[in-house]
Amino acid sequence: MPPVTPLSTQRLNRIDLLRAAAMLWMTAYHFCFDLDHFGLIHENFARDPFWTWQRSAIVSGFLFTAGLSQAVALSQGLDWPRFWRRWSQVAVAALLVTAGSALMFPRSFIYFGVLHGIAVMLIVVRFTAGWGSWLWPAGALVIAAKFIASTAIAAMPVLEFLNAPGWNALGFISRLPVTEDYVPLLPWLGVMWWGLAAGQWALRHRPHWLGSVDAPASGAKRRLVMLGRWSLSYYLLHQPVLMGLLAAVVWLRG
């Protein structure tokens, strides 16, 4: 794989804009989910394709931009100490999500959601960043393996243990677990690999597609870039705020 020319130690604003778009879409989705939780609307978020496809698109946006960010970070010479500092922030945030969801949803708490998945996938991506163009077929294989595995496990009872919590983090499952969020390695590692491959390609051939290190001039874009750069904090805070506000509305309505 030819070397990537380092751009800067700063972040590129179009990646942050993509991340901000995913965050805003997620907020709208969670707002509707919370309305249903409080009985203000009635929707089937687990089975209705209108909602399940949105969830898949939002998670794909998170993981694809995470892959893009890793491509840029590695091109800027990201060393292991800095990598582990950032990784520890994601890992601690994942534990906070588990603790918070256990209080709100004790029977369906989040034990391997999007942050848990990202924490594991970041390590895998770090070790496989040198695969170059092989990342594209590797990502496709991982995504396809998810659907092949579902059929195989359903046909072979001896593999039923792969559906159990812990093992199901791999994604080799024939049925979805009872949890509020579930982002296993299969198929989602494939999406992050594609993000990494796309970022590496863009850095070589179309670096301007990823944006610049300068803050955008307009106030709206500047705020979106800031949201993208503080996405982890926003992710942790947005649901408690939304649920708190809706709980207050329900209480005021008696």
* Cα–Cα dist 84/182, whole Å: 24
Tell whether the model's pLDDT for residue 24 goes beyond 80.
yes
pTM to 2 decimal places: 0.91
Axis-axis angle for helices 185-205, 49-75 (nearest 10): 50
Are 97 and 114 within 8 A, CB to CB? no
Instruction: Report pLDDT digits (tens) over 158-190.
Output: 788 999 999 999 998 888 999 999 999 999 999
Report how far apart, in Å, the C-alpha atoms of 232 and of each of 39, 50, 172, 214 are: 29, 26, 28, 21
Tell whether the model's pLDDT for residue 3 goes beyond 50.
no
Q: Where are the domains of the chain?
A: 13-252
Are 215 and 6 within 8 A, CB to CB? no
Tell whether the model's pLDDT for residue 90 goes beyond 60.
yes
**pLDDT classification of 12: cutoffs 50, 70, 90:** confident
Tally of residues, the chain: 254
CA angle 56, 70, 67 (to 5 degrees): 20
pLDDT, residue 29, reads 98
Instruction: Report pLDDT digits (tens) over 122-162.
Output: 999 999 999 999 999 999 999 998 888 878 887 788 788 99
Instruction: Report pLDDT digits (tens) over 241-251.
Output: 999 999 999 99
pLDDT, residue 174, reads 86
Give the pLDDT mean for 20-28.
97
pLDDT, residue 31, reads 97
